[in-house]
Structure 1
Amino acid sequence: EYFKAGQAYQSALDAGGEGKLRQDISRNLAQVDLILGRNEQARLNALNALSDNSHSTLVALDVKAYFRAASASYQLRDFRQCEEYLTKLLSLSVNDEDGARLLEKKAFSATFGWKSDNSSTKTYDVRRKTFDGLPAALWMSTVQKLQQTSPQRIAEVTSLTGRYPGLGSKLVTADGVHVLDAFQIHDIIAANAFAIPTSAKRQKTEAFGLMETVVPPGTKASTIPENYALFTHASLINHSCLPNASRVFIGDAILLRATKAVAKGDEILQAYVSPTLDVKARQERMNLIWNFICSCALCKAETQEPEDLRQRRAAVVEEADRLAHDINTHLVDASQRDGIIRRAERLHARLKATFASEIWD
């Protein structure tokens, strides 16, 4: 209930909070404003949240504030201001080892819901015998860009993974025109397109830094997220259910950051699907879309467990999610606090009991 949250934050500001408390409230209100599409107000509140302090904790919070100001500026099409805020953000976070920037790239092609020509389609895959949803506008945009404005990047795009090899990555011309296999591009989009989330969706998943990478087979065209992009470099990064990098999007740009210390020579890994899914569901999806079975440490451990144990754990996690949702959407007074803490402690004990020591130690 973001509108109510915004009212509560604004009431707190009107009540006269000062110092760090006021900055925290302004920063949180800026996020609510972004979700509600109040971009002018979001930018103002984000700037009011800046601390101008060199303490590492406050610098990290200023990074968030600049990011929200930049996001609001982007939505307002104020790109110069957006660039200025992002430059300041990067200057603050340059020494953040755990959050080191690993990749910053603009999309090769992207489509957004606010564009009138944005559309989705449904195709029948004779190999899997499924009707699959696909961001048709991105498919068309990619083909047109390769043929008309960026033929020099044909090999870069067609070398990406797709179940149908088509013409491969070689350049083919006929009568002076570059020839593309539209079905090959279809499969490349299906396996490599990133969903660019709305602010509300980012709120839902940012704890993991994850976004669903592609449209799962069988998805209805009407339910396909409106914003999609093809990032040729990010698509080359392999998967792990225990990734060392997470991604965020600013318009049609992707920013990949380390989520833990990455030593020289270590492979950069991202998650294609959420590790909170049951291992069986993860494996089925990865095999269906990307044609591989994950063998990361998490998958190896979970596949050794009895299915009923995983189901018990999933039930506890679901209950914990409901508790977190209740806490985040309702004001909790002092009389409820002790009860909530005890409930959380019981959930923690139940969750811990689902991890067998001989597998997880």
Structure 2
Amino acid sequence: MAETASSPHVARPPKRLSKEELIRTHKSHLKKQDLNPNAPRPVKQPLLDEAYPASTKSIHDLELIPLTSLQPETHHRSHSLILRAISPPFIGAGVISLVQDHLGNVDKLAIYNHSDTSILSGVPEGCTVAVKEPYYKRNGPETEGDYMICVDHPSDVVLLRFGDEIIPESLRLGPVCKSGEEWRTAGDRAFLEGDLVTAVFCYGEAVVVDGKEKGFREGVYAKRAGTNLALGRYDAAREDAMRSLTGGNGDWRGWFTAGRAAYGLGNYRVAKEHFEKALEQKPNAAGVQKELARCLTRLEEEEKGNYDFKKLFESLSPTNVHLDVGSFLSNTRVGDSATHGHGLFATRDIAAGELIFAEKALVMPNQYEPARASAALYAMMVRQLYDNPSLSSKLLPLYGGAYPRTNHEGEIIDGIPVVDVFLTEYIRQANCFSAPLSTLIDTKPITPGNRMAKGLWAHASYMNHSCVPNSMRSFLGDLLISRAVRDIRADEEILQQYVPVKAVYDIRQAQFKVGWGFLCQCPLCAAEARGSSENLAKRRELLAKIEKACAKKPPSKGVLSDSAIRTVDRLAKQLEELHEREVYDGLPRLALVYPTNWLIEAYRGRKKWGLVVRYVLKLLREFGFRVPVDEGEDWVPKEMYTGSGEASLMTIHVVTALRAAAEAYRALGRGEMADKCEEAGKFGYSMIVGFETDLSVLDN
């Protein structure tokens, strides 16, 4: 981590590039940059081992220093720079501009992680900025004297008004427009040209220049509200809309804009109030009526969890992943957990298969390429924290590891919220979920694998892990659905699997230790921790041998020989003997799932239906479900979800096993048992994909 300087006036870099060298190099880079507006913009994700806190001081409380006082590899605490851009910006992973200070010195300024709704995402030539507590660093080892001011936190740089009194005299350009009316006209022109960012800036200048003129001011606020709404800056849009109100009949437009902004933030109750205010003044406004109706639907979803999941599924497409839905959370509450920190708890009894909660993502970019998904989520989180500071109350309380907080994150200083990009990345890593376009599609055999977006669901993030959880999550676009896989009592903690668990105890624990920094103590892990380390080693070795044998003779390749089946069956029995009865009584034996599943498919291929039923029952027991041992016994498969205690494990293999049992029972002339297995499989499948659907999906 770089040194922090409180008095940077004593040491200077031994050599700096001259102004002429900087200009020549910058021009050469400008010639090479890709100005295609449709080209994906790269993201600079923060290096966490180089983390440093965002500035939490006002620019007015910092000492102004010249560029020549900057020391390399140093954070200049308690100091600031005021700089004017003297070059067009080079736009890549960040924005690099040549800047000049009040003494005429020139250097490079690199601004990263800034929202593209801000002018600072592409600093125009002539703009003046203040850099708070600047970080000066070497720009690679290739060129001696090549340094730059590096701004990682977007709140560490402030765009100054042209007439701001803090700007030194030598950097002032004088008024660009002489009156508020000229600024408003400039804003209108920028808006018509599609430059919404510049329009917002111009409208802001218009209000400051002629801010006391009644009528004019409210009209400009109305224009800026609409522009901010189009940019997705909902906090600012709602604030401007409220400022635009005059007390006259024309205020319905302001209430309408405020309602749409609140809706964009997911504040449907506030949005409803604003839409109703608009309709009081203009009862026949069709647009307002339509938005109010949408709002009432969202409120019903929030209150009752009434969703048309099939319709939502049918509306999904690669270009429509952000569903227009509310979040149903009332079955749950956040509380202190005996497992780890905070957790999610049931507020009432919830039956197996019932909806626990459904949550729309707080942040989820439409990026399903694994190599880009994490960077896209990080960039979107930073943007939302900057553009809509009210979201800080939902996002920033989430677990961020051991990263030290200043408790000023999200606070508005110098008119902008403090955004710490390193804290944001720690929160992302600890709380994000990988999400397919839909879990239903993801269960199909022909679905291309590894197509996952990354998203943040704040409420779901409070759920702790268990290898034998009482809930399953699924996804429809940016909607996370959580269903109970067994009966849950009121005040019971709701647990989920962070990732599909490994069959072998020590490998599983290493996965959790590396990924999240904890050791799992769920009922299965707590029991296995008491087991024999010698048997554990033998199980790991034997399972590897079984996996090799099964892979050599996959059932999908045709009917298998008796000898191949006997080999796997013999090895599976040896593996079973290595499971201590006193450890695994009533618990899943996950190491036995793979060979048992292989034997089911092997016997299906040979149409030995009695053995298929026998091994399906065995597989269900290996997952911890209480089912009969005798394949000839009648039973009610659906009851296994409610009668298996608290240590069963629900997976897609349970559903496919029940389908295999139905096929076998039907071939054996036991149609009633076949129907019951199909019913239980369909019920289990609804837990996995989030809603009821036909099992034939698994055949396509």
Q: Same fold (TM over 0.5)?
A: yes
Asked if the contact 1:162–1:191 (Cα under 8 Å) also holds between the matched residues in 2, the reply is yes
Partner in structure 1 of residue 374 of structure 2: 135
Please report the TM-score for the alignment, with normalisation by the length of structure 2: 0.31
Distance 2:579 2:427 in 1: 38
Distance 2:571 2:490 in 1: 39
Partner in structure 2 of residue 75 of structure 1: 317
Asked if the contact 1:240–1:270 (Cα under 8 Å) also holds between the matched residues in 2, the reply is yes
Partner in structure 1 of residue 356 of structure 2: 102
Asked if the contact 1:238–1:269 (Cα under 8 Å) also holds between the matched residues in 2, the reply is yes
Query: Alpha-carbon deviation of 1:275?
Result: 2.7
Asked if the contact 1:166–1:183 (Cα under 8 Å) also holds between the matched residues in 2, the reply is no
Q: Does 1:113 align with 2:351?
A: no
Partner in structure 2 of residue 37 of structure 1: none
Partner in structure 2 of residue 241 of structure 1: 467
Query: Alpha-carbon deviation of 1:69?
Result: 8.3
Match of 2:433 among 194, 197, 200: 194
Distance 1:100 1:157 in 2: 27
When residues 284 and 202 of structure 1 are mapped into structure 2, their CA distance, relative to the original with a 3 A threshold, is: same
Query: Alpha-carbon deviation of 1:278?
Result: 3.0
Partner in structure 2 of residue 309 of structure 1: 535
Asked if the contact 2:384–2:391 (Cα under 8 Å) also holds between the matched residues in 1, the reply is no
Distance 1:67 1:273 in 2: 24
Query: Alpha-carbon deviation of 1:316?
Result: 5.0
The one-letter amino acid paired with 1:75 is S
Asked if the contact 1:167–1:180 (Cα under 8 Å) also holds between the matched residues in 2, the reply is no
When residues 200 and 257 of structure 1 are mapped into structure 2, their CA distance, relative to the original with a 3 A threshold, is: closer
> 3-state DSSP class of the match of 1:111?
coil
Asked if the contact 1:286–1:293 (Cα under 8 Å) also holds between the matched residues in 2, the reply is yes
When residues 169 and 255 of structure 1 are mapped into structure 2, their CA distance, relative to the original with a 3 A threshold, is: farther
Asked if the contact 2:398–2:461 (Cα under 8 Å) also holds between the matched residues in 1, the reply is yes
Partner in structure 2 of residue 145 of structure 1: 384
Partner in structure 2 of residue 230 of structure 1: 456
Query: Alpha-carbon deviation of 1:157?
Result: 0.6
The one-letter amino acid paired with 2:575 is L
Q: Which has the higher contact order (CA 8 A, sep 6+)?
A: 1
Query: Alpha-carbon deviation of 1:276?
Result: 2.2
Distance 1:290 1:185 in 2: 16
Partner in structure 1 of residue 392 of structure 2: 154
Query: Alpha-carbon deviation of 1:338?
Result: 6.2
Matched pairs, number: 247
Asked if the contact 1:172–1:178 (Cα under 8 Å) also holds between the matched residues in 2, the reply is yes
When residues 345 and 71 of structure 1 are mapped into structure 2, their CA distance, relative to the original with a 3 A threshold, is: farther
Distance 1:322 1:258 in 2: 36
Distance 1:135 1:180 in 2: 18
The one-letter amino acid paired with 1:189 is R
For residues 1-361 of structure 1, the aligned pairs below 5 Å read 71=313, 73-75=315-317, 77=319, 97-113=351-367, 120=372, 135-148=374-387, 150-163=388-401, 164-168=403-407, 171-197=410-436, 202-203=442-443, 226-317=452-543, 319=546, 323=550, 329-330=556-557, 332-333=558-559, 336=560, 342=566, 345-361=569-585
Distance 1:301 1:75 in 2: 44
> 3-state DSSP class of the match of 1:110?
coil
The one-letter amino acid paired with 2:362 is F
Distance 1:154 1:360 in 2: 45
Query: Alpha-carbon deviation of 1:162?
Result: 1.1
> 3-state DSSP class of the match of 2:426?
helix
Query: Alpha-carbon deviation of 1:286?
Result: 2.6
Query: Alpha-carbon deviation of 1:309?
Result: 1.9
When residues 225 and 357 of structure 1 are mapped into structure 2, their CA distance, relative to the original with a 3 A threshold, is: same
The one-letter amino acid paired with 1:303 is A
When residues 293 and 70 of structure 1 are mapped into structure 2, their CA distance, relative to the original with a 3 A threshold, is: same
> 3-state DSSP class of the match of 1:75?
coil
Asked if the contact 1:109–1:138 (Cα under 8 Å) also holds between the matched residues in 2, the reply is yes
Distance 2:526 2:553 in 1: 34
Asked if the contact 2:367–2:453 (Cα under 8 Å) also holds between the matched residues in 1, the reply is yes
Distance 1:153 1:321 in 2: 50
Query: Alpha-carbon deviation of 1:355?
Result: 1.1
The one-letter amino acid paired with 1:191 is A
How far does the alpha carbon of each residue in 1:215-264 deviate from its partner, in whole angstroms, 9 at most, with x for none? xxxxxxxxx96511111011101111211111111112111111112122
Query: Alpha-carbon deviation of 1:141?
Result: 0.3
Distance 1:322 1:188 in 2: 42
How far does the alpha carbon of each residue in 1:174-202 deviate from its partner, in whole angstroms, 9 at most, with x for none? 11111111100010001111111477994
Asked if the contact 2:409–2:417 (Cα under 8 Å) also holds between the matched residues in 1, the reply is no
Query: Alpha-carbon deviation of 1:294?
Result: 1.9
When residues 196 and 304 of structure 1 are mapped into structure 2, their CA distance, relative to the original with a 3 A threshold, is: same
> 3-state DSSP class of the match of 2:579?
coil
Query: Alpha-carbon deviation of 1:167?
Result: 3.5
Structure 2: tracts of 5 or more residues without a match: 1-307, 325-349, 586-700
Partner in structure 1 of residue 5 of structure 2: none
Asked if the contact 1:241–1:275 (Cα under 8 Å) also holds between the matched residues in 2, the reply is yes
Larger Rg: 2
When residues 266 and 136 of structure 1 are mapped into structure 2, their CA distance, relative to the original with a 3 A threshold, is: same
When residues 103 and 344 of structure 1 are mapped into structure 2, their CA distance, relative to the original with a 3 A threshold, is: farther
When residues 67 and 310 of structure 1 are mapped into structure 2, their CA distance, relative to the original with a 3 A threshold, is: farther
Query: Alpha-carbon deviation of 1:305?
Result: 2.4
How far does the alpha carbon of each residue in 1:14-37 deviate from its partner, in whole angstroms, 9 at most, with x for none? xxxxxxxxxxxxxxxxxxxxxxxx
Distance 1:287 1:158 in 2: 24
Distance 2:502 2:408 in 1: 36
Please report the TM-score for the alignment, with normalisation by the length of structure 1: 0.57
The one-letter amino acid paired with 1:350 is Q
Query: Alpha-carbon deviation of 1:284?
Result: 3.1
Distance 2:476 2:412 in 1: 36
Distance 2:484 2:551 in 1: 26
Distance 1:241 1:250 in 2: 24
- Aligned identity (percent) is 28
Query: Alpha-carbon deviation of 1:146?
Result: 1.8
Partner in structure 1 of residue 75 of structure 2: none
Asked if the contact 1:156–1:169 (Cα under 8 Å) also holds between the matched residues in 2, the reply is no
The one-letter amino acid paired with 1:310 is L
Specify which structure has the higher proportion of helix.
1
Distance 1:69 1:268 in 2: 28
